[in-house]
Structures are given as C-alpha cells and as structure tokens.
Amino acid sequence: METIIVIIFILGYLAITLEHSLKLDKLIPALVMMAITWALISFGIDGFQNWFDSGEHALVEGFSSLDHESKTHLVEETLLHHLGKTAEILFFLLGAMTIVEIIDHFDGFSTFKRYIKTRTKKKLLWTFTILAFILSAIIDNLTATIVLITILQKIIKDKNTRMWFAGLIIIAANAGGAWSPIGDVTTTMLWIGKKVTTDALITHLLIPSLVCMIIPTFIASFMTPFKGDLVKEIDVKPEAIHDTTYSAIMLYLGLGMILFVPVFKTVTHLPPYVGMMLSLGVVATFAEIFSSRQFKLTTLGDHSKDSGHHSPVHKSLSKIEMPSVLFFFGILMAVASLESLGILFNFADSMNAAIPNTDIVVLLLGVGSAVIDNVPLVAASLGMFHQEMNDPIWHFIAYSAGTGGSMLIIGSAAGVVAMGMEKISFFWYVKNITLLAVVGFLAGAAVFVLEQQFLY
C-alpha cells in the first residue's frame, strides 16, 4: 500500500509540473492527490508498520501492535493536527494577501513610481532589484513581483527589455523573501513550524541573500540589454503618476501592520496568523472609513443605500488568488500523508547515511526547488530533519528553497507569475537568466557556509 501511495504522489507531482502542457490547473492534481493518499491510508491502516508523530517528531513506538480502533483514532488525530498546522499558514497568507489587495485598491503602490526617475537602464535595473529585495521581505516575493512588473509595464514599452528586467526581479524577489519570515511561503512555514525565529533568520540569512541578489545584478549590469538609456520608453512626468487621496496613507499603514505581525508574535507568543488577523482588521477599518468619505462626497443619494457593494474589503477579498490557496492546502496535506507513514523520516535517514554532509543535502534540495515547487520540499524537510530551533540546517533550508527556485522560471511563485504577466517562455529564461541565478545561488550559499564558522 505504501508503494501505491508513493506512486500516486509522484503522478500528482508530474501533473503539477506539467500543468501548462496538460492545460490543467495545478490545484486539481494537488487536491486529488491529497484526498486519494489519505483515503488509501484509511483503507490500509492495519497493514502499515510505522506511524510518525509530528508533535513529537518521532515514530510511534509499538504502532504495529495497536488494534484497529486505536490506529483509526491516531489517523484522525494526525489528520486534525496537520489540518490545524496547514490552516495556520493559509489564514496567515489570506490575511497578508488581503492587506496587499486593500493597498492596491487605494492605488498605494503608485507611491513607489515617484522614486523611479532615471533614464539609464543600469540604474533602473539596480532600482528595481533593490526594491524587489526589500519589498519581498515585507509583502512576500510573489506580491512584490506582481507590483514591480506592473510598474515596469507602465514605464518600459519594449517587451524584450521588460523580460530581462523581469528575470532579474525574480532573482531579487526570491533572495529578498528568503531572509524574512513573511517573505516567502517556505520561510513562513519554517517560522510557524517553530524551526526558526525572526531575529536569527535575519541575522544569518540577510548577507547571503544580499549576495545572491547583488552578484547577478552586478553581472547583468554589464550585459547588452542593460546598456544605454530608455530615451523614449520611460515617462517620469509628475502628471503621469496616478495617485489617490489616501494612497500613501494606506501604503504605509498596510506595510506597517504587516511588519507588526512578528512583533505581536514575540510579545504574545501566539501563532502569527492571530497577529495577521489583527493587522487585517486595523487596515480594513481605515479602508472602510476612507472609502466611506470618498463615497459620500462622490455619489448621489440613490446609490448611498448600496454601500456594501462599494466596500474595499469585499472587493479586495474577491481578488484573492484562491486557486493558489487551495493548491497550498492540497500539497501540504499530501506531503503530510507521506510524513505520517514515516516515509520521509526513513528517506531522511537513508539520505543522511548516503550523504553525511547535510550542507550538500540542503543544496540538492535547493536545486530540486527549481524543478518542482519549493513548498512541498520544505514541508518534506520538516519531516526529514529533527534538529532544534535555529539550527544552521533550518536557515540553510530557508535560503536554498527560497533562492534555488530562481534557476528555472517554474521553480518559484514569483517566476510563475512573471511568466504569465510577461509571457516569458521557459527556454528563453533558461538561455538568458538561469546562469545568472545559479551564480547568485552558489555565491550566497558559499557565504552562508563561511558564516557558520563565526555565527553558530
């Protein structure tokens, strides 16, 4: 039965990685794979020899000798445990995504366009990569990529030039997301899973991540696509900048409340999603107040009765990428099924026996995240390794999984969204951007390994 479950998992993975060829949204195989693997576990529970206790991070002693009812009860408890842990991540993401959509509703991100006044391609490249690095640490790499490419489309008309910029934005956004607990789904998973703390993550990964961003950008700045000026492609006239009355206020309020979440967790010791819900409530309150003011000034008497239709919170919630949320749910719960059977635990023992150097194992995980989604790889690592909180391996996993995905455009959420927005082909990215991403990834990894000699 275990073999069948692994085969179902592999087939589901193949369907996810080949979603563009199959023309099947990746959330479908993720949900189907999750349901079937857990169903097979339920049907064959009496035939399994091992069971992994996620709470204790160890195999359950004497599992094979338990009776059917005890095993069934254990499955139900384990499923509920993983559902709770997955829900923590999903509600955290939903809160963050809603806050970002509320900011966008008030055109808050247009504020950034005021600072982009250069006509030099090289300076513009550094401006966008630095913004991507910083923004991704605050509002996550996926959202930062969407925001910056949207701005890019408004100021650069040549598609080929934009694709080059987009490629470097992907590298910078993934690097920026790796050192922040809210910058990438994988680092959020490690943070919520109590594998890393905010201060330690920033301390150990800021410099390697910065190197991962700077090296490719520095090399690219001497390449032909980034030479010269954008004489007729950029418009920085003040009147070209669209703004609203509350755009700047909502931008700073929204970003400030997202940054408040780690502080809330440190003070209250509650899960991060609780702080994110509080932040969402505060941002939503101001959004409703500002929207009501605009509404009363600009609409006529008849329409005032339908105020709910104009709610910025309702509109923002309707724009949330629910397929992505359901995909994360499906893939995390599917990986949990393999973890519960002890498959990942045994696989980790075998890998560690074959490759004693854990740094190499984690580097391979980073390379793997370029081929398949980094979310399930990090989820798997939570079952594979059992080191204490803030052990070097957790920081290295956060770095490798976060930045390794830049090597292929399908290897990260930032890459996939850029692929869709700019219609970048897989092979164009491999030909022009992959080598830059590899150099940055290895350079940052080398810096991290050197850091271990001094910081741990």
| pLDDT tens track for 430-446 | 899 999 999 999 999 99
Confidence of residue 324 (pLDDT cuts 50, 70, 90): confident
* pLDDT tens-place string over residues 343-380: 766 776 676 677 777 788 888 888 887 876 677 678 77
295 compared with 139, residue with greater pLDDT:
139
pLDDT at 302: 47
Average pLDDT over residues 290-296: 66
Print burial letters for 291-308: b (CB count within 10 Å at least 16), e (below 16): beeeeeeeeeeeeeeeee
pLDDT at 396: 92
If you average pLDDT over every residue of the chain, what do you get?
A: 82
Contacts 24+ apart (CB under 8 A), 426-435: 428/163, 429/167, 432/164, 432/167, 433/167, 433/168, 433/170, 433/171, 433/409, 434/407, 434/408
Average pLDDT over residues 310-317: 82
- The rounded percent of the chain whose pLDDT value lies above 70 is 87
- Contact indicator for 234, 156 with CB cutoff of 8 Å: yes
Confidence of residue 274 (pLDDT cuts 50, 70, 90): very high
Q: Measured on CA atoms in the order 126, 128, 134, 140, is the torsion positive or negative?
A: negative
pLDDT at 234: 46
Written as six digits, the tokens of 60 are 């359950």
pLDDT at 36: 94
- At position 1, the amino acid (one-letter code) is M
* pLDDT tens-place string over residues 136-180: 888 788 778 887 887 887 788 888 889 999 999 999 999 999 998
pLDDT at 440: 95
Average pLDDT over residues 117-133: 88
118 compared with 144, residue with greater pLDDT:
144
pLDDT at 298: 45
pLDDT at 64: 81
* pLDDT tens-place string over residues 211-246: 999 999 999 999 988 888 775 544 444 444 444 678
